[in-house]
Structure 1
Amino acid sequence: MMGQESAQSPPGPERLADVFSVRDIDLTEGGIRYYGDPVTDAAQVIRQVGPTFRQHGYRVRLQSESGGHVLVATERSLGVDGVPWRNVALAAATLLSTLYAGTRWYGLSVVEEPAVLWRAWPFAAAVMGILAVHEFGHYALSRYHEVQASLPYFIPLPFNVIGTLGAVIRMQDNIPDRRALFDIGVAGPLAGLVATVAVTAVGVTLDPIYVAGGLISRIELGYPPLIQGIAALLGESLSYSDPNLLPNPVVIGGWVGAFVTFLNLIPVGQLDGAHISRSLVGERMDAVQLVVPLGLFGLAGYLVAFEGGRGAPLWGFWGVIALVFSRAGTATPLVETPLGPRRRALGVLTLVLGALCFVPVPIVVAV
């Protein structure tokens, strides 16, 4: 367990004079506030002063208060102080919600026999394992590049068929350059894909589950090329002549991993795909974010026109989400040094692998 790194004395006003005219300074616990006005374009202030503050052990942001501007510098902390109880509580809640979701995939009733909750542990382990590997991929590269980030926050979703909305980490720091932004962004999907392949390979070799009646028997999953390819390579099936036979719930965990990977690679806002794409195309990212919602709405329209609307609500919803996320902006590195050819190739490969996780109609509940 590591604590906060020791910060140096914060930069004096004279170090900021070229971009920010300081009128007053207020020392706070763990930081400092500079009141004044930008000398240059406000959007460029952080890029200009950010590297200086990082050298002194601070992260910085520019905000407006009472008609004026304030540079808020906060000491950076790269470690974990004490027990992260919020993370632990959310992980425990998500474990319970995924266990409950798993009982439905196994055809078990918690109402009739509460102890059967623990028999769904393979499903819960598959889903939470993939999510954890994904998020700790981000966390590890954040630490490597000395970018302050939180431990993963799991998001429970009781009574949902997968039991969770996924997991996130919070980057609470200025990103030093495009290489760091790329490495942090790409690490999660690649790590998650490795876990997804492993989980799916195990799952397709396990016995299918007999589930008669109930919601689960009416759910139709669309398996993306990645999942289908793994099953084909191992000579296993994903469908059965008996409609009451379903793939082992561990396979469903792999499906969750592929679905989450694709959604995370949509290039808008603060999603992984946006970090990767922003690193690859630089400030042209604004044009990319204009196209993405149109593509998602177009996909929803296609499904309405040619597939009876199956899957259309999902992509229509994500079209709205993409619009909202794009308005929130993407992570902006302090230095715009272009990526080298190896990172560019890896970025393209990651996006291609993400495409293998896509299926137009991922899930449908049959009436």
Structure 2
Amino acid sequence: MGLANENSLGYEKSYIVDLVVFHAIVRSSLGVEMITALAVLVALGILAVGFNRARPYGKLGILAWFQSVVLMSPWIIFFGLFSAGIYLNLAGMLLLFVISTGIYIWIGRKLRAEGQEFLAQRAAAKVAIESAFPKSDDATEAPVMIPPESLSIPNEDLQAIKSIFGIDTYFLTETISYQDGAIFKGNLRGDPDSTHAKLTENLKAQVGDRYRLFLIENQEEKPVVVVLPSKNDPKPLTLTQTLLSIVLFLATIAASLETGGILLGFDFYGSPERYAEVLPFSIGILAVLLAHEFGHWIVAKRYQIKLNLPFFIPTWQIGSFGAITKFASLLPNRSTLFDISVAGPLAGGAVAFGMLIAGLLMSHEGSGFKVPTQFFEGSILVGTLARVIMGAEIQRSIVEVSPLVVLGWIGLVVTAINVMPAGQLDGGRIVQAIYGRKIAARATVATIIILGLASFVNPLALYWAIVIVVLQRTPERPSLNELTEPDDARAGIALVVLFLMLMILLPLTPSLAGRLGIGG
């Protein structure tokens, strides 16, 4: 038995022939090119209308319009060249997407920065006007950066919130409007943990449970207090989202059965009576996935943090790429974010690693799977472990291994993918917890660029780049106390986890494989 069969090769050849025929039809179709050119003109017209509507808003409006241009530009360029009879290959399209993604994220940051600057300037202008024309001589209220009427917080609540600050905790100097709440600039006095705890206690005594207090760093890396209404807290899943989560889990089970069939060399849904053969593979894949999610859930429960149901991402190649799990509670600090985030990869990775080691120990003549030596060159970690445990056995051109080896490797790949340092993936949350939001944002951009380049070799990388950009690009929302950093032990665990992720995903070079004695 092998990892593929002649039928699968036949499907690939048929698919390539279909693509060639389709491409020939498209090239000979003048009508398609005319329709494409018309669509490009319509898109340009929409952008022109958007520009006219954006101009009255000044620099902010133009930046927002330019961001939409960047988002549409790869498609406009592709279809524009297509209508002119020029066809970009996959490499060209990937390059366009990588460039446009980087520019889009950069403009988004500029837009947010300009927006905050605009609010501050508007507030300063209002203060200047009110200072020049005071309401009355007996006014006793001290001036603030933004007048109460310009804030979303009611004036009564605003005064109550201001009363929680003191010279021994946080000396307030400036108030700035922010979303539905406010930013309170000032000077932090004392330890962030104790200060945040005292301010939170005072806030609850003054306004009850209607507001949440965040202690974070601003763009100048100075401590600020942000107060937002509790209505902005994470929400539980709606009925539709819950049903979607259940459907995706059922689809993952179905995909894991098909994966088992592919590993055994047949189409399971073409031969469902052979379910007994694929069931162990399905159970193995699901064991890694469920261990991962239970790892998150157990640690979250210890911290009394609620998690929403996971949204699994099914795929017929390896059953699933993992799951997207959102927090349904605010996190108290970055250490909590780290512990919950790392628990999933550690639990799922431990199950997968155990399968791999057990499989390597059980591999012998007649184990059931015959794989080429190149199988072990696909991962530095797997290849090294195989050489240590199996010894000279992997110097043959064809090696027989236990099915657990394949299952373990699949589980490690799924775990490693989720540990990539990007956005709200486990790896992105780990980096954010240890190094902060700014480093996490840079790591996300770097990961997307690397995946874009890697997709020239492996189309799977393009898939994950798209998933991150569309669903997981932004960092996790701030913890209530963002200033207190996790301890050195957590930082060390983070480095080990990220290192293992690289060792799993990076292949062995032919020269290194030769030095290790892998292959003939």
TM over 0.5: yes
Partner of 2:298: 140
The alpha carbon displacement at 1:261 in A equals 2.0
Q: What letter corresponds to residue 101 of structure 1 in structure 2?
A: T
- 1:263 equivalent to 2:417? Answer yes
* Same amino acid, percent of matched pairs: 23
Q: Aligned pair count?
A: 304
The residue aligned with 2:176 is: 40
Distance 1:349 1:148 in 2: 27
Alignment of structure 1 residues 173-192 onto 2, 5 Å: 173-192=329-348
Residue 274 of structure 1, CA deviation: 1.0
**Bigger mean CA deviation after superposition, 229-238 or 178-187:** 229-238
SS of match in other structure, 2:432: helix
Does residue 340 (structure 1) correspond to residue 487 (structure 2)? The answer is yes
Given that 2:382 and 2:409 are in contact with CA atoms closer than 8 Å, whether structure 1 keeps it comes out as yes
| Aligned position for 1:10 | none
Partner of 1:289: 444
DSSP-derived class of the 1:331 partner: coil
SS of equivalent residue, structure 1 residue 156: strand
> Aligned letter for 1:165?
F
In the TM superposition, residue 328 of structure 1 has moved relative to its aligned partner by 2.9
Correspondence list, 1:1-367, <5 A: 21-22=153-154, 40-42=176-178, 45=181, 71=229, 73=231, 90-110=248-268, 113-157=271-315, 160-204=316-360, 205-206=362-363, 207-209=366-368, 223-235=378-390, 241-242=397-398, 247-285=401-439, 286-300=441-455, 309-311=456-458, 313-324=459-470, 327-336=473-482, 337-360=484-507
| Per-residue deviation, residues 310-351 of structure 1 (Å, max 9, x unmatched) | 32x333444444444574333321102111111111111111
Q: CA RMSD in A?
A: 4.3
Matches of 2:309 and 2:488, distance apart in 1: 31
Distance in 2 separating the partners of 1:177 and 1:44: 22
Distance 1:93 1:46, change over 3 A: farther
- Post-superposition CA distance 1:50-107 (Å, at most 9, x none): 957999788979xxxxxxxx945389999xxxxx876665444422321222022123
Contact 2:176 2:182 in 1 (8 A): no
How does the TM-score come out when normalised to structure 1? 0.67
Q: Which amino acid aligns with 1:180?
A: T
- For residue 20 of structure 1, report the CA deviation from its aligned partner: 5.5
- In 2, Cα distance between the equivalents of 1:282 and 1:289? 12
- Identify the structure with the greater strand proportion: 1
Could you tell me which amino acid in structure 2 is paired with residue 124 of structure 1?
S
Bigger shift: 43-52 or 109-118?
Answer: 43-52
SS in 2 for 1:40: strand
Paired amino acid for 2:486: L
Query: Measured at CA, do residues 340 and 250 of structure 1 come closer, stay the same or move farther in structure 2, by a change above 3 Å?
Result: same
Name the residue aligned to 1:66: none
Question: Highest Rg: 1 or 2?
Answer: 2
SS of the aligned residue for 1:328 comes to coil
Relative to structure 1, the CA distance from residue 323 to residue 155 in structure 2 (aligned partners, 3 Å threshold; closer, same or farther) is closer
Q: What's the CA shift for 1:275? A: 0.8
Q: Which amino acid aligns with 2:491?
A: R
Q: Give the drift of 1:257.
A: 1.7
Distance 1:145 1:127, change over 3 A: same
- The TM-score normalised by the length of structure 2 is 0.49
The one-letter amino acid paired with 1:357 is: I
Contact 1:181 1:276 in 2 (8 A): yes
CA drift of 1:183 comes to: 0.5
| Paired residue type of 1:348 | L
CA gap of 1:60–1:105, structure 2 versus 1, over 3 A, is: farther
Cα distance in 2 for residues equivalent to 1:350 and 1:222: 21
Q: Which runs of 5+ in 2 are unaligned?
A: 1-147, 158-174, 185-195, 214-227, 237-241, 510-520
In the alignment, the residues of structure 1 paired with residue 422 and residue 447 of structure 2 have an alpha-carbon distance, to the nearest angstrom, of: 7
Query: Could you report, residue by residue, the CA deviation over 1:288-320 in whole angstroms, capped at 9, with x for unpaired residues?
Result: 3333323333445xxxxxxxx532x33344444
Q: Which runs of 5+ in 1 are unaligned?
A: 1-16, 26-38, 62-69, 79-83, 301-308, 363-367
Change (3 A) 1:95 1:44: same
Deviations 1:188-238 (A, max 9, x none): 111122111111123332554468xxxx99x96853122223323321656
Corresponding residue for residue 108 of structure 2 = none
Deviations 1:130-189 (A, max 9, x none): 1111111111111111111024444433xx222333233321221111011110111111
Q: Which secondary structure state, in structure 1, belongs to the residue aligned with residue 231 of structure 2?
A: strand
Determine the C-alpha separation between the residues in 2 that align with 1:288 and 1:122. Answer: 37
Which amino acid letter does the alignment assign opposite residue 273 of structure 1?
G
| Distance (Å, rounded) in 2 between the aligned partners of 1:296 and 1:233 | 30
Query: 3-state DSSP class of the match of 1:357?
Result: helix
Instruction: Name the CA shift for 1:360/1:226 in 2 (closer, same or farther; >3 Å).
Output: closer
- Residues 265 and 271 in structure 1, CA contact (< 8 A), matched pair in contact too: yes
Asked if the contact 2:416/2:504 (under 8 Å) is kept, the reply is: yes
